[in-house]
Structure 1
Amino acid sequence: MSTNLERFKAIIERGFSQGDLTVADEVCAERLIEHEYLSKTDLPGPQILKAQIEDARGSIKNLRLAVEAIVEAGDTVWARSKATGVDPRSGKPVTIDVIDICRFADGKLIEHRGVPDRFALLHQIGALPLTPQRLP
């Protein structure tokens, strides 16, 4: 892997879509600054990414991520991906958008901000009302 775009795509394709945890050892710095809500932050960088991959694949069965838009600006990769799969509790198919902002240095991921659309996930599995509730 020679570019940050290739590194990012490896995380998405090999890691999240295929469950290959070894990608974390290849692309993560030992110190990863993690900003994603509910992600572990008190582990070495590769372990943080491995935990995120395992959590995502446990939350959505048959998880597949497809990058739909990607931009590289300096040392940072910005991406919008589509996650699809099946909610393991309800058995319902789900599709959500995921936004990632990844900063790299010396060929390693050093900082990550991730925003999976958890509201869309909750709505699709029936945990949120089908229509917005209006305040009086």
Structure 2
Amino acid sequence: MSVETNKALVRRLFEEVLNGRRVEVVDELASTDYQENDPLPGQREGREGLKDRVTMLVEGLSPTFSIEDLIAEGDRVVIRWTNNATHSGTFLGIPPTGRSCRFAGIDIFRLEDGRLVEHWDVVDQLSMLQQLNLLPSS
């Protein structure tokens, strides 16, 4: 697959699945043996685990992702994003605060045969927790 095709697939994950709340699209985007290198607590393995992750994010944080950068080389796609979210449901065992937050992250995906097969991420969780008043801000 071309790097442009790979970038379009990752864009679909953020726009259709996360922002569009269409978890069923994951079946089109990810391989059954999808590997998560930074799983959320309770996230299963494989494609079903990616669905778990999406469901946790959507139900807990009501996210709206803005894509800041989308870079691809070979079989890897890197996406830098900003998330405007509202803690509207239980997330990682934390009851909803109703507060809003804005935080950033970077995801790296490896693709194979037109499917997501592996994922790593770095997320500014400290900023998110501070904005939700779950940790002191200084």
TM-score after normalising by structure 2 = 0.85
Point out the structure with max Rg over C-alpha: 1
CA-CA distance at 1:18 after TM superposition: 1.2
CA contact (8 A) 1:33 1:41 kept: no
Gaps of 5+ in 2: 89-95
CA-CA distance at 1:33 after TM superposition: 1.2
Aligned residues: 128
2:59 corresponds to which residue?
Answer: 58
TM-score after normalising by structure 1 = 0.86
* Percentage identity across paired residues of the two chains: 24
CA contact (8 A) 2:29 2:116 kept: yes
SS of 2:8's equivalent in the other structure is: helix
Say yes or no: does 1:70 pair with 2:70.
yes
Say yes or no: does 1:18 pair with 2:25.
no
Letter of the structure 2 residue corresponding to residue 76 of structure 1: R
Q: For the residues of structure 1 that align with 2:75 and 2:58, how far apart are their CA atoms?
A: 28
Superposition misfits of 4+ residues, deviation over 6 angstroms: none
CA-CA distance at 1:37 after TM superposition: 3.8
Q: For the residues of structure 1 that align with 2:60 and 2:123, how far apart are their CA atoms?
A: 12
Q: For the residues of structure 2 that align with 1:110 and 1:99, how far apart are their CA atoms?
A: 17
Q: For the residues of structure 2 that align with 1:80 and 1:70, how far apart are their CA atoms?
A: 7
1:33 corresponds to which residue?
Answer: 35
Gaps of 5+ in 1: 132-136
CA-CA distance at 1:92 after TM superposition: 1.6
Give matches, 1:1-136, under 5 Å: 3-38=5-40, 40-42=43-45, 44-45=46-47, 47-61=48-62, 63-88=63-88, 89-131=96-138
